[in-house]
């Protein structure tokens, strides 16, 4: 009986161990299959990289304050030149637009419709890559493995209009995280803008192409090293560092508001528009400073700065008063000198005035009717 029980227990333990090994091996196989599918969908990006990048994002419930800005990045500015150059591939290095187009052509990156006034990043507004290529007259061909459900395209390097993309629209989020009690700036989406001139050489027209979510693009730009300074040609940062550190320069053209209007619609006057942009940027920069009580060192620094400003203001006021007094003292002397000068000019003019020449008296000629009698005849 004891032998039978021991045998049954041994068989039961063996069956349990075999089932556990089978389940663990099947789970490993399933995980590898999912990893393989992920790598096929996103070439060059591993599952580990995606998990790390997704884990760095925060939820809106952890935020205390948020402000959404729309900026226009002009690539002709020196600060934004890193997004444009190199316009042609050099030693395997591509600019931002070429990276976006190549990833969208092979189906690993999604683009969304550019809607005037609102942005919706859902499957209903996902762009059709074939329509995008046809709309902007970009030559392409069917790539290997392309199907009707998952189309893929091959675009030659010379057919990508990278030199015509001279600006970008970005959606920028200013957030205050309650966990870290810090302010941070994140880029939510990027839109390349195509600049094309007319047939008669008129001013170039801007064509916003599509929106790309930055979180979807980020895995492909974290490995692309670039240099951002002409004084240092060493590629010391990536495109991701460039955006997350805020090394770009752009003008605010819209803020998320209830009326859903741009700043140009709210402020038609150019001076008012510039003033509104400056005030918005100043409020963003000073928001974090107003949240904290300043330390003693900061108070001392502010006091010194205020005293210096007051001293400069008082010095300028004293200098202006002195200049006014000097002007008031010099003015009578100058008037007297001018009067003396005018008097001297009058006296010299009177001395040099030519004397009047008397006209000789005209002598009337005698006429025969008024002839007098001769003296000789009178004596007779």
In tens, the pLDDT along 209-259 reads: 999 999 999 999 998 899 888 888 888 899 999 999 999 999 999 999 998
Domain assignment present for 325: no
205-208 vs 153-154, strand pairing mode: unpaired
Average pLDDT over residues 133-144: 94
pLDDT of residue 368: 44
Domain assignment present for 223: yes
Query: What's the CA gap between 77 and 66, in Å, rounded?
Result: 28
Are 142 and 291 members of one domain?
A: no
Are 158 and 128 members of one domain?
A: yes
pLDDT band at 371 (very low <50, low <70, confident <90, very high): very low
pLDDT of residue 3: 62
Are 257 and 271 members of one domain?
A: no
Are 161 and 284 members of one domain?
A: no
Length of the chain in terms of residues written: 380
Domain assignment present for 366: no
Among 200-209, 216-225, 313-322, 346-355, top mean pLDDT goes to: 216-225
Query: What's the CA gap between 225 and 237, in Å, rounded?
Result: 6
Query: What's the CA gap between 167 and 206, in Å, rounded?
Result: 9
End position of a domain, from candidates 265, 290, 322: 265
Query: What's the CA gap between 170 and 218, in Å, rounded?
Result: 14
Q: Average pLDDT of the chain? A: 78
Buried b (16+ CB within 10 A) or exposed e, 221-237: bbebebebeeeeeeeeb
This prediction's pTM: 0.68
8-54 confidence digits (pLDDT tens): 677 767 666 655 555 444 444 344 444 444 344 444 566 555 555 55
Residue 262: pLDDT above 80? yes
Domain assignment present for 161: yes
- The residue that leads in pLDDT, 167 or 54, is 167
Average pLDDT over residues 96-116: 94
Average pLDDT over residues 194-206: 83
Domain assignment present for 115: yes
pLDDT of residue 127: 95
Are 119 and 149 members of one domain?
A: yes
Domain assignment present for 238: yes
Are 252 and 286 members of one domain?
A: no
Q: Which residues contact 53 (CB under 8 A, 6 or more apart)?
A: 215, 218, 219, 222
pLDDT of residue 343: 55
pLDDT of residue 43: 47
Are 260 and 271 members of one domain?
A: no
pLDDT of residue 190: 97
Residues 51, 215 contacting (CB under 8 angstroms): no
Query: What's the CA gap between 70 and 280, in Å, rounded?
Result: 12
Are 67 and 86 members of one domain?
A: yes
Q: Which residues constitute the domain of residue 206?
A: 49-265
Residue 201: pLDDT above 70? no
Provide the domain count of the chain. Answer: 2
pLDDT of residue 44: 56
pLDDT of residue 18: 57
% of the chain surpassing 90 pLDDT? 44
Q: How far apart are the first and last CA of the chain?
A: 219
Give the distance from CA 19 to its chain's centroid. 61
pLDDT band at 82 (very low <50, low <70, confident <90, very high): very high
Q: Which residues contact 101 (CB under 8 A, 6 or more apart)?
A: 155, 160
Are 209 and 295 members of one domain?
A: no
Q: How far is CA 252 from CA 13, 77, 209, 240, in A?
A: 70, 15, 19, 21
Average pLDDT over residues 139-144: 93
The enclosing H or E element of 256 equals none
- The residue that leads in pLDDT, 46 or 119, is 119
Domain assignment present for 22: no
Are 73 and 157 members of one domain?
A: yes
Are 293 and 229 members of one domain?
A: no
Domain assignment present for 370: no
Are 149 and 284 members of one domain?
A: no
């Amino acid at each position: 009986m004891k032998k039978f029980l021991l045998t049954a227990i041994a068989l039961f333990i063996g069956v349990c161990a075999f089932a556990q090994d089978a389940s663990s091996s099947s789970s490993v196989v399933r995980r590898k299959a999912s990893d393989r599918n992920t790598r096929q969908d996103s070439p060059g990006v591993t599952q580990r990289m995606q998990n790390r990048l997704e884990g760095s994002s925060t939820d809106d419930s952890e935020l205390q304050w948020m402000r959404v800005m729309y900026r226009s990045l002009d690539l002709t500015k020196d600060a934004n030149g890193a997004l444009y150059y190199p316009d042609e591939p050099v030693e395997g290095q591509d600019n931002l637009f070429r990276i976006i187009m190549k990833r969208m052509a092979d189906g690993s990156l999604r683009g969304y419709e550019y809607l005037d006034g609102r942005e919706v990043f859902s499957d209903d507004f996902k762009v059709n890559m074939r329509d995008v290529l046809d709309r902007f007259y970009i030559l392409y061909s069917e790539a290997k493995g392309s199907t009707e459900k998952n189309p893929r395209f091959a675009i030659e390097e010379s057919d990508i209009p990278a030199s015509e993309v001279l600006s970008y629209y970005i959606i920028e989020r200013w957030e205050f995280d309650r966990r870290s009690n810090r302010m941070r700036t994140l880029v939510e989406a990027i839109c390349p803008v195509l600049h094309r001139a007319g047939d008669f050489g008129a001013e170039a027209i801007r064509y916003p192409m599509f929106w790309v979510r930055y979180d979807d693009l980020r895995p492909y730009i974290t490995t692309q090293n670039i240099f951002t300074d002409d004084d240092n040609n060493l590629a010391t940062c990536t495109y991701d560092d460039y955006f997350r550190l805020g090394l770009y320069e752009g003008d605010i053209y819209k803020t998320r508001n209830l009326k859903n209007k741009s700043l140009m619609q709210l402020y038609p006057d150019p001076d008012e528009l510039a003033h509104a942009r400056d005030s918005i940027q100043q409020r963003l920069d000073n928001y974090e400073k107003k949240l904290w009580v300043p330390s003693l060192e900061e108070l001392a620094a502010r006091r010194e700065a205020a005293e210096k400003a007051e001293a400069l203001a008082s010095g300028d006021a004293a200098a202006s008063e002195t200049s006014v007094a000097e002007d008031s003292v010099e003015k009578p002397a100058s008037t007297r000198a001018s009067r003396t000068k005018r008097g001297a000019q009058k006296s010299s003019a009177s001395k040099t005035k030519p004397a009047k020449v008397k006209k000789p008296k005209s002598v009337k000629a005698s006429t025969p009717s008024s002839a007098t009698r001769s003296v000789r005849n009178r004596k007779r």
